[in-house]
Structure 1
Amino acid sequence: MLENEEAKSKEQQNIDKELKNSEASELTTAKSHGEILKQQIVEGQETYDKNPVSILLSSLTAGLEIGFSYLLICTLYYFLQDKVEEDTIIKLMSFLYPVGFIMVILGQSILFTEQTSLLTLPVLNKKRSLKSLLKLWGLVIFGNLIGGYIIAFFLVWIGPRLQIFDLSTIEKIAVHVTDYDKMIIFASAVLAGWLMGLLSWLIAASKSTLSRIVIIFMITAVLAFTGLHHSIVGNVEVFAGLISSPAITISGYLIFIGLALFGNAFGGAVFVALLKYRAFVYDVKG
């Protein structure tokens, strides 16, 4: 038992040593796996060290800003309806979907799905506890959801008055998002969480703002084009339907948001954080 604990302690020391030695060079064109991992762990730990009120406000801001993606897709849908086939409109919406993500991520607001794997890494590296991770996730999710509720109420009110979309548009988008079997929504959310975790990893690997914009656009456009379920954008889409249409019920909303959040968290934490971290650990072991 004692020997096993000593072996684990030694292994952790080796991992920390390798991470410490992973220093990014301005002369290299690409960062190594260790350099990216180190940056992700450091950034994750910085979030843990922030004041809870600061985290909540940043998360609230992200929930509000992501609403601009919803504003654009509603406006496009309304503009093109009866002019273009509905399935074509849905695909075209994917080119506007990334706008809110670009605002949120480049603006350094805290978005749950983009931060999922980032916040998991310090736990895997034994620098933070699982309890602290769940507490932080809860705070970020709460802020993102509240921000989403606020922007949904505002857009449901302002959209018809500006005549850029109507309540029928809101209902159609909400029904489109939720009209799937529960297991399909969960599996779709896992893939979306996986993509968002990769987005965080790829952004850490990039060195310029332009490359980050391209990466954000590429990943989130793929997510939208394939119809994968993102919990925070989906929250705005479905909640807007809930407050403006009888087609969305409170139970339907709660089931959707629960499945989407759990699926996104699973996809980001397992398929990105865990696998990326374990790949580095096995490399250290040699």
Structure 2
Amino acid sequence: MSVLKPKDIAKVFSDSAFDKNGHSTARLLVLSILGGAFIALGFMLAILVAGGSPKLAANNPGLKSFILGATFPIGFIMCVIGGGEIFTSACAAMPMPLLRKQTGIGPVLRVWGLVYAGNFIGGLMTAWLFTQQTGIFPEGSAALHTLIHIAEHKVGILPEQADEAHFWVTFVKGMGANWMVCMAAWMAYSAKDTFGKVIAIWIPVMTFVAFGFEHCVANMYVIPAAILQGAHISWTQFITDNLIAATLGNIVGGFLFVGLAYWFIYLKKEDEKLDHKQFSAVNPEGELIKK
């Protein structure tokens, strides 16, 4: 059979996360820097294509959103096919072996911390080296205007956002974004060929981008890139008005809607049976003890 069933995906998804505990710090960091750079390159492409069509945006904003979403997933595809670590998918994957009592909270936080740092480095590197230094968004161009507009919207400084509960909105958008991203990672495991993996990744990632949801790793590129290109956004605003809320939303969305949900559906009963077999002896006090 060319497609894995959801229950089999759950096992592979959990096992792959458990294996990350054995990765060295250097290996995790390099994979994460690549992951952050890949996501940034995908965002660059999306802005260049969708943002370079101002008449399209004015006449058909829905189509512009679709084009933005349709071109963005190239970064995620490179991560999965080529190799790279992304913090957001780790939000669903890493808690699964924790829920299965195969690891502790320490290793989970270690992987999260290293991947988050590496993604940040990759995003900043791409913003400076491949955006600012190349002049890919020329002064006065429609693409540059789109880049800055996206960043300003993400930190909530546009006039139409004056009455918005921005932190909460960003948090909820972060939940939705990472539900889709983690579903992309989950569905990619179902396919055994490259084309199948590409389609599995493309559909949910395109969806969250077209919705305008918040992805902390993507924001590690787009907001710094806008700042370096002259946007009226401070680094403090970037952290406090977007990155914190987006990150927290991504953690909750990935864990709640994918990691926890699919552990409960496909693995919980199986894990309980294993626990019962391992702890089926009883001591004189009536407590279960390991065989």
**TM class by smaller structure:** 0.7 to 0.9
**Alpha-carbon spacing, 1:252–1:128, altered in 2? closer, same or farther (3 Å):** same
- Report the equivalent of 2:200: 215
RMSD: 2.3
**Alpha-carbon spacing, 1:65–1:37, altered in 2? closer, same or farther (3 Å):** same
List aligned pairs for 1:129-168, cutoff 5 A. 129-154=104-129, 155-158=131-134, 159-160=136-137, 167-168=144-145
List aligned pairs for 1:93-242, cutoff 5 A. 93-154=68-129, 155-158=131-134, 159-160=136-137, 167-179=144-156, 181-242=166-227
**Alpha-carbon spacing, 1:268–1:259, altered in 2? closer, same or farther (3 Å):** same
Q: Distance in 2 between matches of 1:84 and 1:33?
A: 39
Residue 176 of structure 1 deviates from its aligned partner by 3.1
**Alpha-carbon spacing, 1:246–1:127, altered in 2? closer, same or farther (3 Å):** same
**Alpha-carbon spacing, 1:195–1:166, altered in 2? closer, same or farther (3 Å):** closer
Aligned residues: 259
User: Match for 2:238 among 236, 240, 253?
Assistant: 253
1:58-97: CA deviations, max 9, x gaps? 0001111112212212212442124541734333211111
Q: TM-score, normalised by structure 2?
A: 0.81
Q: Distance in 2 between matches of 1:271 and 1:153?
A: 34
**Alpha-carbon spacing, 1:177–1:48, altered in 2? closer, same or farther (3 Å):** same
Q: Distance in 2 between matches of 1:247 and 1:220?
A: 29
Unaligned runs of 5+ in 2: 274-291
**Alpha-carbon spacing, 1:168–1:45, altered in 2? closer, same or farther (3 Å):** same
- Report the equivalent of 1:263: 249
- Report the equivalent of 1:87: 61
**Alpha-carbon spacing, 1:101–1:30, altered in 2? closer, same or farther (3 Å):** closer
Q: TM-score, normalised by structure 1?
A: 0.83
Q: Point out 4+ residue stretches in structure 1 off by more than 2 angstroms.
A: 28-34, 86-92, 160-170, 176-180, 242-247, 280-286
Residue 169 of structure 1 deviates from its aligned partner by 3.7
Q: Distance in 1 between matches of 2:230 and 2:13?
A: 42
Q: Distance in 2 between matches of 1:190 and 1:106?
A: 25
Q: Distance in 1 between matches of 2:142 and 2:23?
A: 39
SS at match of 2:83: coil
Residue 30 of structure 1 deviates from its aligned partner by 4.2
- Report the equivalent of 1:22: none
What amino acid maps onto 1:36 in structure 2? I
Unaligned runs of 5+ in 1: 1-27
Give the fraction of aligned pairs with identical amino acids, expressed as a percent. 20
1:1-23: CA deviations, max 9, x gaps? xxxxxxxxxxxxxxxxxxxxxxx
1:118–1:200 CA contact under 8 A, matched in 2: no
1:199–1:216 CA contact under 8 A, matched in 2: yes
Report which stretch shifted further, 29-38 or 258-267. 29-38
What amino acid maps onto 2:152 in structure 1? V
Residue 282 of structure 1 deviates from its aligned partner by 5.1
SS at match of 1:210: helix
Q: Distance in 1 between matches of 2:56 and 2:24?
A: 50
User: Match for 2:12 among 39, 51, 65?
Assistant: 39
What amino acid maps onto 2:254 in structure 1? G
- Report the equivalent of 1:278: 264
Greater helix share, 1 or 2?
A: 1
2:188–2:197 CA contact under 8 A, matched in 1: yes
**Alpha-carbon spacing, 1:282–1:246, altered in 2? closer, same or farther (3 Å):** closer
**Alpha-carbon spacing, 1:31–1:68, altered in 2? closer, same or farther (3 Å):** same
